A and B are shown apart, each in its own frame.
Chain A
């Protein structure tokens, strides 16, 4: 019966697919390709209602095989892609994009550009939301390529410019690229998403032509629009832009403050902390302490000597001035149950001493103040330091011993 036939067909299809998969995972591209030619038959009677139908399978697997097959050539790949484009109308744009990526990775930028232009002029029935988005992406990538050409022209122009004469034809061409790129890039940025590269290019273009207001607006929109996913990069770009523009400390700090709220472990937190430490306002210095403590909470910062030296410097300052000891106390309160094991164990003292003396110096200073002179970490490091007759460490020991009462006040 036809039902049975369908069932058998389905079974053999699945078996074939599993053979392909097996070959792929063992990097037997030739074998996989042979099976794939058999699998193409499954297109004939495609009864499947699965999420990924056979035609998509063939596209994906075929791309993978051609990418790795020792005897495949770019020509074959292009040919395969053209066939895949006609295989499924709904997937046309996706296949186009994939094809373009492949061309780009092989350095065939012009072909990629042509393909993008072709895809852009493609129309099929009513545009669905997904198609709309894919079309935007295609346009954006074309814009990106335009930007690349623009940047190339710009470099050329600068080289010539150094020679002393300007080439108006090159300049005109460059402006043409700018217009094309700007139009397309602007479009994609309006759609919520993570568009780091497009934003960067667009801002670069705008900055070159002096449209700082627009650039600022774009970056602000990208960073603060709540419809966009929370993206720390957006804030980083904004901060870098502001810094380039020579904006005031205040606006820089407010940009970094938000970054701190989103990602307390961001690398820029060291810059942020130094900036805040230098500030004359108490509140800012207080924030600086908070920032550096929060950064050092993270496992990735455990052995960051720079961060430890920031903390050590600030803690030392506070201890010497004997003002705002309560800041340290507050920060320490929520950490005293786990920082000793996390940062100041004897094992870490040993290892830090072996691997990075300056790190262990900074850490020992902090440990000595936070945990007193009898803390394991400080004890071990200062002992080793004195044994090695390092002056720094002797001074450190003296300093901690002198300020030992601080420890009692902090922990009390």
Chain B
């Protein structure tokens, strides 16, 4: 009898488990993103920092809106009666509504003509979007006078509420338990077809409940359009259970809980059964796996109800205090047990079982955070779950450190205890019972880190002795980390930086739910795991069951996909079809995402400017000698402003077409490319452009004269390299040139004028190179290049370029008739040599 049982020692853990391997390198989106952009919940930075650099980092509208002033503004507009009601009635006499002038009466001095105020406001409205707006003085005066007393929300109270809200947001940031349980459910079909139904929240406020038929093929995909129910609040939890062939789906939002019935047949329409409203936010809703239409509800005030669709709510317990020791958290949880009339009741300190028939008298402790269960200090219950589908009397309790399996027949002493090492507490759990002597699988999921963990365990026929053979409850295999949603980011094709940022923000959104299903297809077993994110995305991954234990090869050990490679988008030979579909799915998803989240036009109204103030009369008249082009442009500007349009590009016709380079360049002169490059490196490319496109003949002639004068001074042929040395003459020339340049700038700038983005005219850096008499070789040293302000990445190009030039003989001296393009290459060989000479001079002593 007993000796045989004990002849073998079996470890509690490390028993061989099943091998499940991920089919793809990352999770794949199941559903396309819905219309409307997702608003991320506030981050720490939103609450803590208000400095501008931080806000600038957050791209566009993707950040959360915590602008209190704006929100209060919305409140004033949306609820004027609450905000100003009685004060408005009191002040009624002092506001004059109507267009007529005020009659001279006694009340004149104490009455405001509202029409004028409204006009000002309207004008303000019209000028929104104008960066140069300023408040009308009358409005400022009015608001200074009234803002302290006009609205009736007491400031102290408002401040208190705001403070409370911020505290709440902050504690939610640290640990948000409102999503405990997860808002994703999978309803398998009754008749073993590879079709099931996914229940998930969606919509911008996550307040729509969707029932979507999903076909499980190589990759699951949606079939038909989903059944949709719009609810009254954000969906926090979706739980489901199958009783007597029918699925019951419980949906929890903060103040409402609802239950739906879904017949097991495919294509059957879900019907809403009942809704209850709670005064305090509900923290838990679980569906009974035993009886149809029974649920348990917990609220944050510490009340547990057994909710039956037929008989209504039955309060089982009300206790705002925690059970075993004091803990501040109002979170409560409840689930069913092996006995349909006995419910478990949990808070952060432990679990109790209550008998619904006599809840006051009949209860026993199931789990207590403390020594007996081997808990650590500060350990708290995070999620309890009834494991009834695996073993009728077993229970899972997760804490932020460990996972416990409990047997309600032997309470308080966990039958299995394992430290899960997850970075965030597991808020979601899903059980997949192993049938016919196979291990049970439990998935654990965390919210903010999106972690997913697969555990396997044997229930060991329970620990309670039945006299026959028995084995202990033990972990099987090693826990396995699964792909999370954000893991796919590294495999996606490269995106533009801001798109990448948006994508990253979307994919790293906290997880909001978890569900899975096992697909048995003859000898091939696979597991499909769905993960929901707060952004409403549902991603899926497939794990394949390896039937034969592979030899423990070190190869398998390290066979990981290197980050950066994108196996999703390359079709390897092993399963070309599947990966192809994954890539396709991704492409669809990305496209739909960019469509759904396209940046909405920032201003729906047209920006309008009053031109009266923009240009004074004197400005408009301008100097006498206006060029025809200037006049033309001005005319166009005026016309566009009258039409209320905007100028994206100046009409090229309006400008004199810039002379073609060929006509500017005499044959045999230094090529325009080198000139342009030189100018670009020196940083005054714009100037060069001016020169090339300068339309004024007089100016061009002046430039030519300059050139001639310079060329007389500078003899010998010039090389490009010389342009990087500098001399006193060069300096002076440059400054001269830049003077010319700035005067030319405004009319002939490359023609882009849009509202944002163009730097103010005249801010071009005037190039002033340091005087450094270095020879050619030294010129190429990175140090010298560096001190000339030439960026690192260009140095190599420059060196290559220069080496080409030094090989061949430089161009012969340029004919006098060369055009303005050469302005930036004024140096010559002689200058170079003279410049290099002083280097060899002995420095004078004493300096």
Contact = CB atoms under 8 A, between A and B. Distances in A.
Interface of A: 18, 21-22, 24-31, 51-52, 60, 67-68, 70-71, 101-102, 104-105, 107, 148, 151, 155, 194, 196-197, 200-201, 204, 229-233, 236-237, 240, 262-263, 265-268, 297-300, 334, 337-338, 341-342, 345, 347-348
B338 A194 contact: no
Contact of A233 (B244, B378, B393, B464): B464
B409 A232 contact: yes
A35 to B, nearest CB: 13
B23 to A, nearest CB: 15
A299 B2 contact: no
B393 A265 contact: yes
B413 interface: yes
A229 B412 CA distance: 8
Contacts of A28: 557-558, 560
Interface string B790-827: 00000000000000000000000000000000000000
A268 B338 CA distance: 17
Q: Tell me the interface secondary structure of chain A in the complex.
A: helix
Given A18-B423, A25-B480, A70-B554, 12 more contacts: A25-B421, A26-B560, A30-B557, A148-B6, A232-B410, A233-B464, A236-B465, A297-B340, A299-B388, A334-B357, A341-B244, A345-B292
B62 interface: no
Given A298-B338, A342-B290, A342-B340, A196 B412 contact: no
Given A28-B557, A30-B557, A232-B410, A341 B291 contact: yes
Contact of B340 (A233, A263, A299): A299
Interface string B462-494: 011111000000000011110000000000000
B121 to A, nearest CB: 54
B553 interface: yes
Contact of B3 (A24, A151, A342): A151
Contacts of B419: 60
List 4 A-B pairs, minimum CB-CB distance, nearest first.
A300-B392, A25-B481, A347-B244, A104-B9
27 contacts: A22-B481, A24-B478, A28-B558, A31-B557, A51-B376, A71-B554, A105-B14, A200-B2, A201-B2, A201-B6, A229-B410, A232-B409, A233-B464, A263-B409, A265-B339, A265-B409, A266-B409, A267-B467, A298-B338, A298-B392, A299-B290, A299-B339, A299-B340, A341-B244, A341-B291, A345-B292, A347-B245
Given A229-B372, A265-B338, A67 B14 contact: yes
Interface of B: 2-3, 6-7, 9-11, 14, 244-245, 289-292, 311, 338-341, 357, 372, 376-378, 388, 391-393, 409-413, 419, 421, 423, 453, 463-467, 478-481, 552-554, 557-558, 560
Contact of B339 (A29, A101, A297): A297
Nearest to B364: A230
A60 B755 CA distance: 63
Given A27-B557, A28-B560, A267 B466 contact: yes
Residue among B7, B372, B409 facing the most chain A CB atoms (10 A cut-off):
B409
A127 B388 CA distance: 43
B273 to A, nearest CB: 15
Contacts of A155: 3
A302 to B, nearest CB: 9
Nearest to B482: A25
A299 B413 contact: no
A300 B478 contact: no
Contacts of B481: 22, 25-26
A347 B263 CA distance: 12
Contacts of A262: 409
A262 B410 CA distance: 9
Contacts of A105: 9-11, 14
A232 B415 CA distance: 14
A21 B480 CA distance: 11
A268 B357 CA distance: 25
Nearest to A27: B478
A298 B339 contact: yes
A342 B308 CA distance: 14
A148 B481 CA distance: 40
A26 B484 CA distance: 13
A277 B504 CA distance: 69
Nearest to A345: B244
A341 B292 contact: yes
B391 to A, nearest CB: 8
Contact of A299 (B245, B392, B409, B465): B392
Nearest to A152: B3
Contacts of A341: 244, 291-292
A30 B465 contact: no
Given A101-B11, A266-B409, A25 B479 contact: yes
Nearest to A196: B465
Contact of A68 (B340, B377, B478): B478
A338 B341 contact: yes
A192 B463 CA distance: 18
B9 to A, nearest CB: 4
Contact of A268 (B10, B463, B466): B466
A60 B410 CA distance: 28
Contact of A263 (B245, B464, B552, B560): B464
Contacts of B291: 338, 341-342
Contacts of A104: 9
Contacts of A232: 409-410, 464-465
A262 B411 CA distance: 11
Nearest to A109: B9
A245 B245 CA distance: 49
B444 to A, nearest CB: 11
B280 to A, nearest CB: 28
A21 B413 CA distance: 28
B338 A70 contact: no
A113 to B, nearest CB: 13
A226 B2 CA distance: 27
Contact of A230 (B340, B411, B421): B411
Contacts of B423: 18
Nearest to A271: B467
Contacts of B3: 148, 151, 155
Contacts of A236: 464-467
Given A30-B557, A105-B10, A341-B244, A300 B393 contact: yes
A200 B357 CA distance: 38
Contacts of A265: 338-339, 392-393, 409
Contacts of B378: 51
A347 B245 CA distance: 7
A339 to B, nearest CB: 9
B509 to A, nearest CB: 21
B377 A51 contact: yes
Contacts of A22: 481
Nearest to B388: A299
A249 to B, nearest CB: 18
Contacts of B392: 265, 298-300
A28 B558 CA distance: 6
A230 B365 CA distance: 11
A204 B419 CA distance: 35
Nearest to A236: B465
A262 B479 CA distance: 34
Contacts of B554: 30, 70-71
B777 to A, nearest CB: 43
A297 B388 contact: no
Contacts of A21: 421
Interface centre among A25, A31, A148, A151 (most CB of B within 10 A): A25
Nearest to A297: B339
B118 to A, nearest CB: 59
Contacts of A348: 244
Contact of A70 (B244, B340, B413, B557): B557
Contacts of B465: 196, 232-233, 236-237
A266 B357 contact: no
Contacts of B377: 51
